[in-house]
Structure 1
Amino acid sequence: MAKQSIFGRIAQLTKANINALLDQAEDPQLMLDQLVRDYTNSIAEAESAVAQTIGNLRLLEQDHAEDIANAADWGRKAQAASGKADELRSAGNTVDADKFDSLAKVALGKQLASEKEAKDAEPSIASQTDVVDKLKSGLTSMRQKLDQLKGKRDELVARSKTVQAQTQVADALGSIDVLDPTSEIGRFEEKVRREEAKVLGRQELAASSLDSQFESLDDLTEQTEIEARLAALKNGA
């Protein structure tokens, strides 16, 4: 019954659709971590059961081999006793000959019993061998599935970290958009432009005042020249 339970567990776990489980999970990484733990625990339990089943099979095989060896040994003893009986009977010692024939019969009975035990054990050995082979195959499938799960989990973690890094970079780039007029950089640029315009205005005002002064100087020179010429006329020059 325990062996059938192990069979069912192996079949259920090896047929698990990882992608379907991930689609249904709210947190795929946590789901994969839990699956890895479940598979690891199930494999450990299955390994223990398989080891016990293999141990029982080996004991059956040892008993079978011992029965075969005992049958052969009793066969040799029966042959030796029968040969001794024939030798004694040829010598005219029928009493002892009969004793050795009786021993031969006992040995042959033991041989038959050992052969029967060996033969009766063979179906059980064959059945247990099939069970062990299937359990070993199931364990191999479970280990492969576990490796697949671990690979899927590691891939998912790596992809998740990549997405997080890309999101951080995108957020950082968006926060320093110099073309955005509402950004700090845009406001500072506008302030600098206003200061530059103010300097240009002051320079223009300064230039205008200087031109006025030179124009006044030119007017004064011209007036002086007129006064000088008028004085010359009066003096009869």
Structure 2
Amino acid sequence: MVKQSIFSRIAQLAKANINALLDAAEDPQKMLDQMVRDYSANITEAEQAVAQTIGNLRLLEEDYASDEREAQEWGDKALSASRTADQFRASGDTANADKFDNLAKVALGRQMSLEQEMAVAKPQIESQTQAVAQLKDGLAKMQEKLRELSAKRDELVARQKNAAAQAQVHDSLKSFDIMNPQSELSRFEEKVRREEARVRGAQELAASSVDAQFNELEELSKQSELEARLAALKNKNS
């Protein structure tokens, strides 16, 4: 009964469909944390019950040892009284011999009573010792299950966070599609291209203006040279 009462809720928890519970939970991490807390609380309760059971066993063992010592003492007293009675009887003192024989019988009666109590207590101690061993084994399994549950909790939480991060990256990339002509990036790129084209146009225009000025200057030089040569010819003819 003790063992069943200690582990009944643990058994129910172990049989629970954890996957179904997690699927229905709004926040799986909070639910896993609560499961670990519940399991830890049950283990604490089980530890207290097991400790109490062990304590009761130790009391039985102490009482048994005390009865065993007392029974031995009464046996020694009975032996001593019997020997004293034999001595009085050998000396012809039957009255004292009977007196000490009666004391020996009283001591033997006390010894027999204690031995009967020990006979009743012994199977109880054996049963309790076996129960304590089973409880310790069950508690060790519960503690191991808690370690597994905690490790599983950490694994599932890490996987959940990783999946959430991947989903966020995926959604961000999806909304930031550089091939979409309507995206902000495409519009910005088009604006940059127009600005670059304007700069190239301005540069080309500036270059054309400079070339025209140099061409005009060259044309003026040619005209000046023609005028000079014409003047030189006129001078020769005169």
Same-fold call, TM cutoff 0.5:
yes
Structure 1 residues 175 and 224, CA gap change in structure 2 (3 angstroms): farther
Structure 1 residues 174 and 195, CA gap change in structure 2 (3 angstroms): farther
Structure 1 residues 3 and 169, CA gap change in structure 2 (3 angstroms): closer
Pairing of 1:80-99 with structure 2 (within 5 A)? 80-99=80-99
Partner of 1:141: 141
With 67-76 and 202-211 compared, the bigger mean Cα shift is at 202-211
Deviation at 1:34, TM superposition (A): 0.6
Pairing of 1:183-198 with structure 2 (within 5 A)? 183=185, 186-198=189-201
2:186 corresponds to 1:209: no
Deviation at 1:2, TM superposition (A): 4.4
Structure 2 alignment gaps of length 5 or more: none
Q: Deviations over 1:35-80 (max 9, x none)?
A: 1110121112112211211111111111111111121111111111
2:132 corresponds to 1:132: yes
Pairing of 1:90-109 with structure 2 (within 5 A)? 90-109=90-109
Calculate the aligned-residue CA RMSD, in Å: 3.7
| Aligned-residue identity in percent | 50
Partner of 1:34: 34
For the residues of structure 1 that align with 2:176 and 2:4, how far apart are their CA atoms?
A: 65
- The 8 Å contact of residues 85 and 96 in structure 1, kept in 2 or not, is answered as yes
For the residues of structure 2 that align with 1:169 and 1:221, how far apart are their CA atoms?
A: 75
Tell me the amino acid that sits aligned with residue 186 of structure 1.
Answer: E
For the residues of structure 1 that align with 2:20 and 2:89, how far apart are their CA atoms?
A: 85
For the residues of structure 2 that align with 1:213 and 1:194, how far apart are their CA atoms?
A: 28
Q: Deviations over 1:109-151 (max 9, x none)?
A: 1111111110111111111111111212222222222233333
Deviation at 1:231, TM superposition (A): 5.2
Tell me the amino acid that sits aligned with residue 112 of structure 2.
Answer: L
SS at match of 1:92: coil
Higher relative CO (CA 8 A, sep ≥ 6), structure 1 or 2? 1
For the residues of structure 2 that align with 1:155 and 1:167, how far apart are their CA atoms?
A: 18
Structure 2-normalised TM-score?
A: 0.77
Structure 1 residues 159 and 42, CA gap change in structure 2 (3 angstroms): same
SS at match of 1:150: helix
Structure 1 alignment gaps of length 5 or more: none
With 212-221 and 136-145 compared, the bigger mean Cα shift is at 212-221
For the residues of structure 1 that align with 2:18 and 2:176, how far apart are their CA atoms?
A: 42
For the residues of structure 1 that align with 2:19 and 2:172, how far apart are their CA atoms?
A: 34
